[in-house]
Amino acid sequence: MPFSDFHGNPETIHRLRDMLARERFPHAVVLAGGHGAGKYTLALMLAQALNCLAPTTTDGLPDFCGKCANCTRIGQAEDLDARFAEAVETRENLRETDKKETRLFVQTHPDVLVIPPDPPQMMIKVDQVRRVIETIYYRPPILPL
């Protein structure tokens, strides 16, 4: 699904793609809106565009191919509910002491980390944020193709 297939808020999409084109993308972007507004979909699209191995252009602005290894791996996180269920099931199979210390993360690509709300309170926990802070300083490994 390229950026042209994203429906809604074309000004924001254009602004984000323009930042990608000028290679002036900020270190953080806050996507806000109501439930079902497309925040998660847009975040995945941006991750694909930033990590695409064969970027394309549509309407004169950068886009992602959706077919390369990076786009495919990041795209696997589209079904967040299924990935979330897998993570919860994996945690349930741990020992009781490990369950309490294990937080949920969805990571289909080394550079993209999704932090879903942790049950049963369905909140982002401090340990999840600490993990992000600890790992954010490390550059991803460069793997040979």
Residue 22: phi and psi, rounded to 5, are -85, 0
User: Domain end: 50, 75, 100, which one?
Assistant: 75
Quote the tokens at residue 137. 């300083």
Regarding whether 60 and 116 lie in a shared domain, the answer is: no
Residues 71 and 88 in one domain: no
**Residue that finishes a domain, picked among 32, 51, 75:** 75
Predicted confidence at residue 85, as pLDDT, reads: 87
Residue 85 sits in which domain range?
77-145
Number of H helices, E strands in the chain: 6, 4
Stated as kind and residue range, the H or E segment containing 47 is helix 39-51
The two three-digit tokens of residue 84, written as one number:
């979330």
Helix (H, G, I), strand (E, B) or coil at 118: strand
Instruction: Choose one of 55, 75, 95: the last residue of a domain.
Output: 75
Residues 43 and 3 in one domain: yes
**Does 90 share its domain with 139?**
yes
Question: What H or E segment, with its residue span, contains residue 16?
Answer: helix 10-21
What domain count does the chain have? 2
- pLDDT tens for the chain, residues 1 to 145: 788 888 888 899 999 999 999 989 888 888 888 888 889 999 999 999 999 999 999 888 999 999 999 999 999 998 888 888 888 888 888 888 777 777 778 888 888 888 888 887 888 888 888 888 887 776 655 555 4
> Does residue 8 sit in the same domain as residue 54?
yes
CATH number at residue 11: 3.40.50.300
Q: How many residues does the structure list for the chain?
A: 145
Whether residues 70 and 85 share a domain: the answer is no
